[in-house]
Chain A
Amino acid sequence: MWATLAFTFGTLVVFIFLDRFVANDIQRRSDAWLSGEVEVLGDVAERTPNDALYGRVVGEVAELASREVPEKGASQQPENDSVFFIQTARDGSLKLWVGAGDGQSHLQAIQASQLAASRPVSIHVRGYAVPFRVASDSMGDGGRVYLGLSERDQRRVILNLRIRFFVLWLSIVLLGFAIVFFTSRRTLSHVRNITEAASHIGESDLKLRVPTSSRNDEISQLGDTLNRMLDRIENSVNQLHTITGSLAHDLRSPLTAIRGKLETSLASHDADHAEPIVSAIEELDRLTDFLNKSLDVAEAKADALRLHPTNIDMDELLRSTIDLYEPSMNDRGIRLRLHSAAPVHIVADEGLIHRMVANLFDNELKHLPSGCSVDIYLQSQEGEAKLIVRDNGPGFDAEVREHLFTKAVKGRRSSGHGLGLAFVDAVVRAHAGKVSADNLSSGGARILVSLPMAAHEADRMPTAHAS
């Protein structure tokens, strides 16, 4: 934008300079002609007998003079009033007049300006809008000759020039604007394409690439660079999959064997000796659970969760989850309330959504002090299923809140391995939803999960109510 403005002003300055230069040049040329011609005419006037021929000779010269100026408009006029010639006698009275009119007003103007120098000057003559450029020369008999040339033609030439300059300047500027507009729009549309393609990558498939063009400009270089980066990311993710896959297998088999051996040995021991074996089994189960959740979060973070979407009613799902969790909450002195009026259907992986919701409840159960209450809100809003879990507990710790969903974090009072909310985030993201958490000004924490609702749910809802 600034470059365009600078270009506009730059060309304007160049044109103004050109205009001045051309105007000065025309002035100088006409002045040189006037000075030369007035000398010639003075000579002619001295030598030529003052007869009828004299007038014609000077008339010829004046005619020639008017041709000196290009773009002459005087030819259309019956009388050439752009040039005049005056010869004065010693006392300054008019001796010879060639030109339009009687010459008196011209002479008066010349005398009023006290023209003496041989250099031409501009003189305004009464009755003429445009000044005359007048040169003079003294003659042997003490009289003077004056040759005047109207600046009208000169001005017209300059005006024409200026109009052309202006039109040229305007078209250059407009062309410049147009070029800048279209090239930047083209460039921006390339960038937009890349942005759009890049935003789809990862949401669905890491195999996608941003569009590149065969042109070797900065934008296609950007695209190539992005694609190379994506290659590396895809490789890393694939490696992650391989590693997690083999890690899962390599760890699971020995864990299975250990657990199995502990269990079989449990059967051959009496109750007194069973205790260490049982606690070993429990530790092993905790380790397994941690391994499973870590792998889940890692896979989900890498957009590698395998989804098996089905139609789920969140209302029903929440009710059965609350059914499961309510006794535990009551035991801890926590009240649990559901605010949901109607079924809200989403298309999602049922197992993952179950676990996601269970994680939210586990989170409340683990962190909320006795005497608090949890309110669950379920609404359908603008094609989204909104699930809000609100409590009136102490809220999130400031340092924990920053990266609540990004990695395994846990507050000071927390038990467990802090993967719960990271898993919630991963699952919601995998379903193209959003999750956010904040502390309420009235105290307590709030977690907001929004998931896209099942397609044509909006059409189905009213009929479902009617039936």
Chain B
Amino acid sequence: MRLLMVEDEHDIQAFLQQALSEAGYSVDVAPDGRAAEALAKANTYDILIVDLGLPDQDGITLITRLRQMGVLAPVLILSARRSVDDRVRGLEQGGDDYLTKPFALAELLARLRNLLKRNAPQGSELTRLRVQDLELDLLRREAIRSGQVLQLTPQEFVLLEYLCRNAGRVVTRSMILDKVWGMRIQPDTNVVDVHIYRLRGKVDSNGQTPLIRTLRGVGYVLQDR
């Protein structure tokens, strides 16, 4: 996967490049808009990361220009501003995504994967999900582990389905809130954790291999191996 990162801060460049390389991306770095345009003209990228606060131009202007140049790859926007302005929302609806600084690396990687998946051709609609010995029947809204039907509330089923669809990948609390409850909030309290504990109590009961793992400071992962 070729990735173009447009970011002027050296510190952020450095660790992002390292983390993204470790995650399997081949990363090109552009420190400003002009360099980004030159690189985008010379190469074809699968995905872009664009910081809004660039030294020579506004990130939105750059994205608009890249789109005019025929760059179709999805863009993950990084913003230091909390209140997201209309133009970013517009881009978000057009298939791109944004992340405010500071962010968890896991969240960045998860969102990149989501963007790539969105762009990838969709396979046939799944009716069953299978992760190790856990099986989800999406039509009957039923979860079965080791032949035992789990007694889940509808909300717990949605949460488990989301974890299964992202099996083996980290999902953060804010991603869970966004995708499962449709809320972009940062609760002061551990409401998401309580849901996960309850779900874990039902999924990983009586001495079975724990499926749901907590990554402190990052989020959760449903282990697929």
Give CA–CA (A288, B103) in the complex, Å: 10
B188-A366 in contact (CB<8A) = yes
Q: Which residues of B have CB within 8 Å of A207?
A: none
Main secondary structure of the interface of A (DSSP, over half): helix
- Of residues 288 through 328 on chain A, the ones whose CB sits less than 8 Å from some CB of chain B are 288-289, 292-293, 295-296, 299, 305-306, 308, 320-321, 323-325, 327-328
- Of residues 176 through 224 on chain B, the ones whose CB sits less than 8 Å from some CB of chain A are 177, 181-192, 194-195, 198, 216-218
- Of residues 1 through 29 on chain B, the ones whose CB sits less than 8 Å from some CB of chain A are 9, 11-12, 14-16, 18-19, 22
User: A331: CB under 8 A from chain B?
Assistant: yes
User: B31: CB under 8 A from chain A?
Assistant: no
Q: Which residues of A have CB within 8 Å of B103?
A: 256, 259
Which of B89, B190, B217 is A328 in contact with, Cβ under 8 Å? B190
Given contacts A308-B86, A365-B189, contact A263 B9 (CB under 8 A): no
Q: How far is the CB of A290 from chain B (nearest CB, A)?
A: 10
Q: How far is the CB of B206 from chain A (nearest CB, A)?
A: 21
- Residue of B with least CB distance to A253: B9
User: A282: CB under 8 A from chain B?
Assistant: yes
Q: How far is the CB of B86 from chain A (nearest CB, A)?
A: 7
- Residue of B with least CB distance to A304: B83
Q: Which residues of B have CB within 8 Å of A416?
A: 188
- Residue of B with least CB distance to A288: B102
Given contacts A282-B216, A320-B181, contact A257 B187 (CB under 8 A): no
User: A70: CB under 8 A from chain B?
Assistant: no
User: B53: CB under 8 A from chain A?
Assistant: yes
In the complex, the number of residue pairs spanning A and B with C-beta atoms less than 8 Å apart equals 126
- Of residues 241 through 295 on chain A, the ones whose CB sits less than 8 Å from some CB of chain B are 245, 248-249, 252-261, 263-264, 266-267, 278-279, 281-282, 284-285, 288-289, 292-293, 295
The interface-forming segment of A57-65, A92-100, A354-362 is A354-362
A249-B53 in contact (CB<8A) = yes
Which of A263, A293, A362 is B218 in contact with, Cβ under 8 Å? A263
A278-B186 in contact (CB<8A) = no
User: A371: CB under 8 A from chain B?
Assistant: no
Q: Which residues of B have CB within 8 Å of A260?
A: 11-12, 15-16, 19, 102, 105
Q: Which residues of A have CB within 8 Å of B89?
A: 308
Which of A258, A263, A278, A289 has the largest count of B CB atoms less than 10 A from its CB?
A263
User: A393: CB under 8 A from chain B?
Assistant: no
Given contacts A261-B15, A263-B19, contact A284 B102 (CB under 8 A): yes
Q: Which residues of A have CB within 8 Å of B165?
A: none
User: A395: CB under 8 A from chain B?
Assistant: no
B183-A354 in contact (CB<8A) = yes
User: A369: CB under 8 A from chain B?
Assistant: no
Give CA–CA (A308, B89) in the complex, Å: 10
User: B101: CB under 8 A from chain A?
Assistant: yes
User: B129: CB under 8 A from chain A?
Assistant: no
B12-A256 in contact (CB<8A) = yes
B186-A289 in contact (CB<8A) = yes
- Residue of A with least CB distance to B176: A324
Give CA–CA (A331, B188) in the complex, Å: 16
Give CA–CA (A266, B198) in the complex, Å: 28
Q: How far is the CB of B185 from chain A (nearest CB, A)?
A: 5
B102-A256 in contact (CB<8A) = yes
Give CA–CA (A207, B216) in the complex, Å: 47
Give CA–CA (A79, B185) in the complex, Å: 110
- Of residues 35 through 53 on chain A, the ones whose CB sits less than 8 Å from some CB of chain B are none
Give CA–CA (A455, B173) in the complex, Å: 36
Which of B183, B184, B216 is A324 in contact with, Cβ under 8 Å? B183
Q: Which residues of A have CB within 8 Å of B125?
A: none
Q: Which residues of B have CB within 8 Å of A361?
A: 187
A299-B83 in contact (CB<8A) = yes
User: A420: CB under 8 A from chain B?
Assistant: yes
Given contacts A306-B83, A308-B89, contact A362 B102 (CB under 8 A): no
B217-A282 in contact (CB<8A) = yes
B83-A358 in contact (CB<8A) = no
Q: Which residues of B have CB within 8 Å of A320?
A: 181-183
List, sorted by A's number, 23 A–B pairs whose CB atoms are closer than 8 Å.
A248-B80, A252-B101, A253-B80, A256-B101, A257-B9, A257-B12, A257-B15, A258-B102, A260-B15, A263-B105, A264-B15, A264-B19, A264-B105, A281-B216, A289-B186, A299-B83, A324-B191, A324-B192, A354-B184, A354-B185, A355-B186, A358-B187, A359-B188
B residues in contact (CB < 8 Å) with A: 9, 11-12, 14-16, 18-19, 22, 53, 80-83, 85-86, 89, 100-106, 155, 177, 181-192, 194-195, 198, 216-218
A residues in contact (CB < 8 Å) with B: 245, 248-249, 252-261, 263-264, 266-267, 278-279, 281-282, 284-285, 288-289, 292-293, 295-296, 299, 305-306, 308, 320-321, 323-325, 327-328, 331, 351, 354-355, 358-359, 361-362, 365-366, 416, 420
| Apart from the given pairs A264-B19, A264-B22, 15 other A-B contacts in the complex at a CB distance below 8 Å | A249-B80, A252-B80, A253-B80, A255-B101, A255-B102, A257-B12, A260-B105, A264-B18, A278-B216, A281-B217, A284-B102, A295-B82, A327-B191, A328-B189, A366-B189
